[in-house]
Structure 1
Amino acid sequence: MLVDADALVPDLLADLRRLVEVETPSADLAAVARGAAEVADVVEERLGRRPETIVEHGVTHLRLQLGGPTRVLLLCHQDTVWPVGTLERLPWSQRDGVVRGPGTFDMLTGLVMAVHACALLQDRSGPGALDGVTLLVTGDEEVGSTHSRELILQTAQGAAGVLVLEASADGGAVKVARKGASRYRLELQGVAAHAGLDPERGVSALLELAAQLPRILELADPEQGTTVTPTTFAGGTTTNTVPATATLDIDVRAASAAELERVHEGLHTLRATQEGAQVRTVGEINRYPMERHHSAELWGRYADVCASLGLPVPDAAAVGGASDGNFTAAAGIPTLDGLGAVGGGAHAEHEHVLVDQIAPRTAVLARLVEQLRDAAPARGGASAAPGRRAD
């Protein structure tokens, strides 16, 4: 199987270039739709079957159920963080065993690997080799999967395992745990006044923001791995006016559901410190953590497959970033993440992929899919997923 995977690499890279050169920033729904159409063309060319197109709230997703109920779900996304026009500055390149271009590492290489792993199985054993395999490609992962979450959980229900083709951790490590993530916005209301004539009549929203920052930062717990990070902020209207409004965006990451809940409650109980000021927190828990017990069984299988193919077993890593695998893990479905590209530079201008790692990881993926196709279903189900808060 490893030799067969080596032979796929030229076609795999050609398909990867096709996808990279159709830019798909999450917020540009027309661009995401164009990217989905290109992905559908690649899938149809390689597997002889075209995925169904599913549009939710204007976001385009693709799903291909390859015969029967889902036994193994290959979970991918094709949206990226790069705006249209990035290719003019950071074009596709393949040089000295390294592929570069926007979205190559996160996560278009993993998506193409999933398609070619399926093609490898189909070419070896016929279309029946993919019975029970489902490929799901979403279009809004980079912005929190707001409109694809239910589709992911519905598709994964009853699967023996979910294999997430996000890029690997450092050095090719497989991701066996991920922190959960929440996003909040603090909205502060004050009273406007002329900064020169009567500033004492104003209530500064910016001063209120400054007073709230220590309270927000106190919610972090480094020993538990819980981070609470103020990110973007805005406020005021003109340079000679006491600012009546301000906003602050807050990113929260935690390794346990209990910690996410604790911070959520803390942010929603913030109260104004100035008379006449108002403070309101808007936001929710977006993804609950993927904890190690969610991936333990699949990680053992992955390591065994590597050994059976004569390949080194990669490290197992716990990471701070969240993915769509958090949804399925929290639903009680065995989930393994970081099975895609080896390289680096996610969301950065030095984004790149190591070509020599593509074939062996595609071979391992194909063998793992083959095993899970015949495995017993997961005991959990989509209904077991903790609900998101909506305040």
Structure 2
Amino acid sequence: MTEFAVDALLADIETLVRCESPSSDLDAVAHSADVLTGVGKALLGVEPERIVLDGRTHLRWRFGDGPPRVLLLGHHDTVWPMGSLETHPFSEQDGVLRGPGCFDMKTGVVMALHVAASLPDRSGLSILVTGDEELGSPSSRGLIEEEARGCAAAFVLEASADGGAIKTRRKGVSHYRIEVTGRASHAGLEPEKGINAGIEIAHQVLAVAALADPERGTSVVPTVLSAGTTVNTVPAAAAVEVDVRVWDEEEQLRVDREVRALRPVLTGAQVRVSGGINRPPLDAVSSAALYGLAKELAAELGLPELTEAAVGGASDGNYTAGLGVPTLDGLGAVGGGAHADHEHVLVEELPRRTALLAALVENVLTKGSPSVPTNPAGDSGRARR
């Protein structure tokens, strides 16, 4: 088993966490890319390719002359606003590391760099660290798909699920904005002359919420809602944002059709729907073979038995799986509290998790992608060594 020094991992994690990088702040993300470039160059001896799309800064390291065979995928942007270090300072105490973005997912980025540095031969490896994942990867999706296409495996360094579980299945995500146009009038003098966009959006909220199917795990959630301008005016405009999560593509398409088929209830009102499917589902089939390999390698390395989880959140792994690329997600930090005050990383798991990632990368670079095991849990067949 490749040994990874905890102190070295912690030092680089601290460097990244202390560089705040909220997705919406382009200058902060660009500065984070500068800092990450320095960490990566110190470990790998080369600077990454710097790719700026729509003002957002992404970094890519490619090794060898041929096309990539293994992709290590992560992001360096976070949901934490500038100034969060003042209220959530970086710390490491009693085996727990804390700080904004430590769990999601700056620890995973550091793990990827240390793994690459440990490889005797990096040919065929690509590391892509994007700067807009927390926004839904609006500028980087094409870059991710370009880099993943044709790879034998994509390993996503998002944080683990509870208890360190690997994420072998993720819901697909769709986002919609439903806008209503009515007609303003004085709410006291002549309300009957108006077309109340607030009432119309209420009808639309109820209609879209009814598209959910709990038995299939489909959630359709109206979130941000706005209507009206003043207390004595019939609203002329209203809007609602809608978040959709589904386990399978058929269901994602069903909800998409029905959202787009929404029609106004009030005479004279107009309804416009924008947005659509953001990320396809990451199906268990996409991860089964790699998860089986990971379980076997973990056993060989003397690590605790791996577990798996299906989660409602999406990641850039949804994109790679959508291309048919074998994808294993949740290989990053073990801890919890993503996006929350109690965000943390368990330090004792760092060298173990990094060693597992190194074994996976070296195995696939050497042997190619494993076939789907008879038992998706990985209890049959031999590991590729």
Alignment TM-score > 0.5, same fold: yes
Equivalent-residue separation in structure 2 for 1:140 and 1:346 (angstroms): 16
Equivalent-residue separation in structure 1 for 2:310 and 2:77 (angstroms): 24
Deviation at 1:119, TM superposition (A): 1.7
Equivalent-residue separation in structure 2 for 1:364 and 1:270 (angstroms): 48
Q: 1:17 aligns with which of 11, 14, 29?
A: 14
Deviation at 1:377, TM superposition (A): 6.2
Deviation at 1:378, TM superposition (A): 9.4
What is the match of residue 86 of structure 1? 84
Letter in 2 for 1:341: A
Whether the 8 Å CA contact 1:75–1:136 is kept in 2: the answer is yes
Whether the 8 Å CA contact 1:160–1:375 is kept in 2: the answer is no
Q: 1:33 aligns with which of 30, 38, 47?
A: 30
Structure 2 vs 1, CA of residues 378 and 283 (structure 1 numbering), >3 Å: closer, same or farther? farther
What is the match of residue 113 of structure 2? 115
What is the match of residue 315 of structure 2? 323
Q: CA RMSD in A?
A: 1.2
Equivalent-residue separation in structure 1 for 2:273 and 2:342 (angstroms): 36
Q: 1:243 aligns with which of 220, 235, 250?
A: 235
Equivalent-residue separation in structure 1 for 2:324 and 2:262 (angstroms): 33
Equivalent-residue separation in structure 2 for 1:71 and 1:265 (angstroms): 37
Equivalent-residue separation in structure 1 for 2:368 and 2:303 (angstroms): 26
Output one character per residue of 1:344-375: Cα deviation in whole Å (capped at 9) or x when no partner.
11111111110001100000100110011123
**Residue 215 of structure 1: SS of its match in structure 2?**
helix
Equivalent-residue separation in structure 1 for 2:304 and 2:344 (angstroms): 22
Output one character per residue of 1:310-361: Cα deviation in whole Å (capped at 9) or x when no partner.
1122211111001000001010000000000011111111111100011000
**Residue 283 of structure 1: SS of its match in structure 2?**
strand
What is the match of residue 43 of structure 1? 40
Output one character per residue of 1:187-231: Cα deviation in whole Å (capped at 9) or x when no partner.
011110011111111111111111122211111111111100111
Deviation at 1:88, TM superposition (A): 1.0
What is the match of residue 314 of structure 1? 306
Equivalent-residue separation in structure 2 for 1:289 and 1:24 (angstroms): 27
Whether the 8 Å CA contact 2:165–2:307 is kept in 1: the answer is yes
Structure 2 vs 1, CA of residues 33 and 370 (structure 1 numbering), >3 Å: closer, same or farther? same
**Residue 229 of structure 2: SS of its match in structure 1?**
coil
What is the match of residue 59 of structure 2? 62
Q: Which runs of 5 or more residues in structure 1 are unaligned? A: 380-391
**Residue 369 of structure 1: SS of its match in structure 2?**
helix
Equivalent-residue separation in structure 1 for 2:206 and 2:109 (angstroms): 42
Whether the 8 Å CA contact 1:189–1:278 is kept in 2: the answer is yes
Runs of 4+ in 1 over 4 A off after TM superposition: none
Whether the 8 Å CA contact 1:159–1:378 is kept in 2: the answer is no
Whether the 8 Å CA contact 1:186–1:280 is kept in 2: the answer is yes
Q: 1:141 aligns with which of 123, 133, 136?
A: 133
Q: 1:283 aligns with which of 252, 268, 275?
A: 275
Equivalent-residue separation in structure 1 for 2:204 and 2:146 (angstroms): 40
**Residue 366 of structure 1: SS of its match in structure 2?**
helix
**Residue 374 of structure 1: SS of its match in structure 2?**
helix
What is the match of residue 294 of structure 1? 286
Q: How does 1:185-200 map to 2 (within 5 A)?
A: 185-200=177-192
Equivalent-residue separation in structure 1 for 2:365 and 2:189 (angstroms): 74
Equivalent-residue separation in structure 2 for 1:358 and 1:81 (angstroms): 23
- Compare 370-379 and 294-303 and name the one that shifted more: 370-379
TM-score norm. by structure 1 comes to 0.93
Output one character per residue of 1:28-50: Cα deviation in whole Å (capped at 9) or x when no partner.
11111111111111000011111
Whether the 8 Å CA contact 2:91–2:97 is kept in 1: the answer is yes
Whether the 8 Å CA contact 2:289–2:370 is kept in 1: the answer is no
Structure 2 vs 1, CA of residues 191 and 211 (structure 1 numbering), >3 Å: closer, same or farther? same
Q: Which runs of 5 or more residues in structure 2 are unaligned? A: 372-385
Whether the 8 Å CA contact 1:161–1:378 is kept in 2: the answer is no
Q: 2:352 aligns with which of 357, 360, 364?
A: 360
Letter in 2 for 1:245: A
2:153 is aligned with 1:161: yes
Output one character per residue of 1:125-181: Cα deviation in whole Å (capped at 9) or x when no partner.
3xxx11111110000100011111111111112211000000000000000010000
Letter in 2 for 1:92: F
Q: How does 1:255-274 map to 2 (within 5 A)?
A: 255-274=247-266
Letter in 2 for 1:133: L
**Residue 203 of structure 2: SS of its match in structure 1?**
helix
What is the match of residue 103 of structure 1? 101
Output one character per residue of 1:235-271: Cα deviation in whole Å (capped at 9) or x when no partner.
1111111111111000000000111111111111100
Whether the 8 Å CA contact 1:158–1:377 is kept in 2: the answer is no
Output one character per residue of 1:33-73: Cα deviation in whole Å (capped at 9) or x when no partner.
11111111100001111111001111100000011321110
**Residue 118 of structure 2: SS of its match in structure 1?**
helix
Structure 2 vs 1, CA of residues 377 and 354 (structure 1 numbering), >3 Å: closer, same or farther? closer
Equivalent-residue separation in structure 1 for 2:279 and 2:366 (angstroms): 29
Letter in 2 for 1:91: P
